[in-house]
A and B are shown apart, each in its own frame.
Chain A
């Protein structure tokens, strides 16, 4: 079983749609959780950290379920500029473990 699993997509959605990505992780000792965004041929950039209580940043909402070892990202009112690959990231110790990413394509 891979350490961090994501549906690779692509998710094709129209502008204004709500889209949700899910991720599962295998190491129950993982300490911190993040969503990174990666544009084509660019470096990953931190989108948001994920907390057990859930957290929201504008149109983005992240949730963590430690019991189920499950992380989610919800994007509301999708914009064309949201088109990218979204990487689920788990931190154990000092290193990050990335999922393969979920590709999102937002069309006009």
Chain B
């Protein structure tokens, strides 16, 4: 399967614990995005990387959240001191870089990591 993969698919944790999620993008895609989706809502943008550089972060990304993409390939999203409000589906997406001044290709999503904070 050459699509976006995420690990784990499900995570249950207790409030106050730290969790880390991994995303492996489509191999030739330079851009990697993290989104969060709660029940009844569309996905909400968290942050994105072009290669290893983190280019944009949403206001949703509090100090407890950190994302890395150290070698420009896979990415990790860590949530420290989890809260019940962090319970959501965390989606990763990837896309190639835009060319020719065009807005760029669309984004392809992984299956998500479903987090439940008790």
Q: Give the interface of A toward B (CB within 8 A).
A: 4, 8, 31-32, 34, 41-46, 49, 87, 89, 91, 93-101
Contact = CB atoms under 8 A, between A and B. Distances in A.
Given A94-B31, A94-B55, A94-B56, A31 B42 contact: no
B40 interface: yes
B100 interface: no
Contacts of B45: 95-97
Main secondary structure of the interface of A (DSSP, over half): strand
A46 B108 contact: yes
8 contacts: A42-B111, A43-B109, A49-B106, A93-B56, A94-B31, A96-B33, A96-B107, A100-B42
Chain B interface bracket (under 10, 10 to 19, 20 to 34, 35 or more):
20 to 34
Interface of B: 31, 33, 35, 40-45, 48, 55-56, 91, 93, 103-104, 106-112, 114
